[in-house]
Structure 1
Amino acid sequence: MKDLLNAKKQEMLHFLEQIVNIDSGSHIKSGIDEISGLLKVKFERLGFIVEVVEEKAQGNHLVIQHRDAVQPEIIIIGHMDTVFPEGTAKRRPFTMKDGRAYGPGVIDMKASLVELIYALTCMKQTGRKGYQNVQIVLNSDEELGSPTSRSLIMKQAINKKYALILEAARPDGSIVTARRGGGQFKVFVEGKAAHSGIEPEKGHSAIEELAYKVIKLQQLTNHEEGISVNVGLIQGGTAANTVAAEASAHVDVRISQKKQINPLKEQIEKICTTNYIAGTKTNVVGKIERIPMEKSEKTEALLSVIKQAGQELGLTITDTATGGSSDACLTSAMGVATIDGLGPVGGFFHSEEEYLVISSLLERTLLLATVIQKLSE
């Protein structure tokens, strides 16, 4: 397969350039659907059946498996959306320099989409049948927390033995065996407006009430336990000389262990239901949607297969935990043996400096194909 992949290197890079130069931020439905259309053609040429799961507001999702597949045991998950606004691809299109490729979403995770296509291509063209043992879900809203694709992923993961998640490998090449889970909460405070110069005593400040809550919420962070609570956005008030009638906060929560979920939710609810300023009312909505991906015996067994595949290819595979969450948290919570970070190597995710190590595109494509085959034998 290595020789075949080497012969396809320029073809792979050309396809990568093509999809990187299409804006596909999570809210750019037209761009995501353009990419999904290109992928659909590629998969169908390989004999795969592509189901398009249509969405009205978000991009469409794809569910893919080979026409000869019978109860595939492996689910492969990737996403087509990025975090970048419309116009980014035109402003800084795909480029290559000094062994690296740059452009919006090049590593998170458009290079992984190319990796997947060509891993299956090489398997088929070299007579390996493992491609018949996979079901693929490519979603359009992972960067938003997979709100419309969550149930789709979980449905397709039923009865699967293995989940291979194609987020990028870490900058040092490590794959991911543990991720923090998390969710978001929105806190809304209602007070009473009054003129701050003429009759401030008649007002009840929603901003002051929220300020007390923000401090208490931030204090729930415990880095040693892998818990972080971050009030990242606050809004409120109408004018400097008016006691604020309304205020709100958006709260991001991250956890490392499933057992942390309920105690943390209770603490958040207690803070939000405690009144500090008389005459104000508070409402909180939200939940912890992604269960942490914790390293388990199943993970260790799958990791062993991947390390063995790497060894056969001359690659030393290491693993790590990471603070961000992904769709790996969904399959892991269902008890499916899950490994993430199986995409190519890169770094500076979600930034203008985001990059792909070009040599890793071929290496990780070969690794993915080898792992699929090993798990299918």
Structure 2
Amino acid sequence: MEDYLREREKEMIELLEELVNIDSGSYVKKGVDQIAAILEGEFREAGFVSTIKKEKKTGNNLVLRHQDAKDPKIIIVAHMDTVFPEGTVEKRPFRIEGNRAYGPGVVDMKGSLVSVLYAIKALALVNASAIRNVEIVLNSDEEIGSSNSRKLIEHTARNKDYALIVEPGRKDGSIVSARKGGGRYTIKVKGTSAHAGVEHEKGRSAIEELAYKTIKLQKLTKYQDGITVNVGMIEGGTSINTVASSATAGVDVRLIKMDQAPIIDKQIREICAVSDVEGTEIEVKGSISRPPMEKNSQSIQLLKIIKEAGKELGIEVKDTFTGGGSDGAFTSSMGIPTIDGMGPVGGNAHSEEEYLELNTFVERTLLLATVLTKLTAKVKMTA
């Protein structure tokens, strides 16, 4: 498999360039669908059949499995969308500088899409049973919370023994064994407008009320418990000389254990249940929508298998915890052993300096293929 992948490294980079040079932000439906069409064709050549789950506002979701697969026990999840708006590619298309490839979504996670494809192609040469043991979900809305694709991921994951999420490896090459969960809330305050100079006393400032709430919400952060509450966006008012009649805040919540969720939710709602500025009204919408991906005995066993595969290949596999969320939370919360960060290594995701370390492209693809071989053997042994 290594020889096969080394021989096709240039081909892999060319496909990466093609995918990166397509705008595929979460709301750029035509771009995401274009990515899906390219990958569907590539996987078809490897004997995979696809099921397209159509969406109206976001890109279509794609489920892939080998035409001879009967009851695959491994799910691979990867997303096709990026955080970048339409027009980004025109400003900064794919480029290579030294050992790094740059461009919108190059590592998060278009490199991983190529890696999964070529892991399958490599396996097709040596281990047909492994490619029949895999079901792949390519979703279109991970960067905006996977609200449309979550049910599809959970449905596909039923009765699976293992879940591999191919978000990029961390900068130091670590894979991800645990992630924070969390959710988002919108706080809307209604006040009473008044002229700031003529009759200020008649106004009830929604901005003032939201300022009180912001301070109280921020104080719910407890670093020692892995909980953060961040009021990340505020807007309100109509003019500088008018008491604001409305104001809105966007709140991000992160946590490390699911049993923290009802406590935080209750605290947020209690804070917003009582006005600090008399005469204002407060509305709260939102929830803890993404469970944490917790490191447990099952994922530790899966991690052991991945580390063994790495050792065979001369790769030291390290694991880490990260505060960012991913679709791994959904499979993990279903009790399926889940490991994330299986994609190529890179960094600065979501920024103009996002990069992929090209010397890890073949290495991580080979690791993924080797892990799939080992897991398939494990499934057979326990069947």
Instruction: Provide, for residues 144-173 of structure 1, a one-character-per-residue CA deviation record: whole Å limited to 9, x for no partner.
Output: 010110111111111111000000000000
Partners of 2:177 and 2:294 within 8 A in 1: yes
User: CA–CA distance in 1 between the matches of 2:101 and 2:202?
Assistant: 60
Instruction: Provide, for residues 234-273 of structure 1, a one-character-per-residue CA deviation record: whole Å limited to 9, x for no partner.
Output: 1111111111111110001111111211111111001111
TM-score (norm 2): 0.97
Partners of 1:128 and 1:373 within 8 A in 2: no
**Counterpart secondary structure, 2:284:** strand
2:263 maps to which residue?
263
2:39 counterpart of 1:39:
yes
Counterparts of residues 1-377 of structure 1 (less than 5 Å) = 1-377=1-377
**Counterpart secondary structure, 1:288:** strand
**Counterpart secondary structure, 1:273:** coil
1:35 deviates by: 0.6
User: CA–CA distance in 1 between the matches of 2:195 and 2:91?
Assistant: 47
Partners of 2:127 and 2:373 within 8 A in 1: no
User: CA–CA distance in 1 between the matches of 2:201 and 2:128?
Assistant: 78
Partners of 1:169 and 1:343 within 8 A in 2: yes
Residue 278 of structure 1 aligns to which amino acid in structure 2? E
1:317 deviates by: 0.4
Residue 307 of structure 1 aligns to which amino acid in structure 2? K
**Counterpart secondary structure, 2:272:** helix
Residue 263 of structure 2 aligns to which amino acid in structure 1? P
**Counterpart secondary structure, 2:329:** helix
TM-score (norm 1): 0.99
Residue 149 of structure 1 aligns to which amino acid in structure 2? S
1:138 deviates by: 0.4
Q: Give the percent of matched residue pairs that are identical in Structure 1 and Structure 2.
A: 54
Structure 1 residues 127 and 277: CA distance shift in structure 2, 3 A = closer
Q: After TM superposition, what 4+ stretches of structure 1 lie above 4 angstroms from structure 2?
A: none
Partners of 2:76 and 2:163 within 8 A in 1: yes
Residue 88 of structure 1 aligns to which amino acid in structure 2? T
- Structure 2: which 5+ runs fail to align? 378-383
Partners of 1:33 and 1:59 within 8 A in 2: yes
In the alignment of these two chains, the number of paired residues is 377
User: CA–CA distance in 1 between the matches of 2:252 and 2:37?
Assistant: 34
- Structure 1: which 5+ runs fail to align? none
Partners of 1:75 and 1:136 within 8 A in 2: yes
**Counterpart secondary structure, 1:34:** helix
Root mean square deviation, CA, Å:
0.8
User: CA–CA distance in 2 between the matches of 1:101 and 1:244?
Assistant: 48
User: CA–CA distance in 2 between the matches of 1:352 and 1:192?
Assistant: 42
1:203 deviates by: 1.4
1:128 deviates by: 3.9
Instruction: Provide, for residues 108-150 of structure 1, a one-character-per-residue CA deviation record: whole Å limited to 9, x for no partner.
Output: 0000000000000010022442010011100000000101101
**Counterpart secondary structure, 2:132:** helix
**Counterpart secondary structure, 1:243:** coil
User: CA–CA distance in 2 between the matches of 1:205 and 1:14?
Assistant: 56
**Counterpart secondary structure, 1:30:** helix
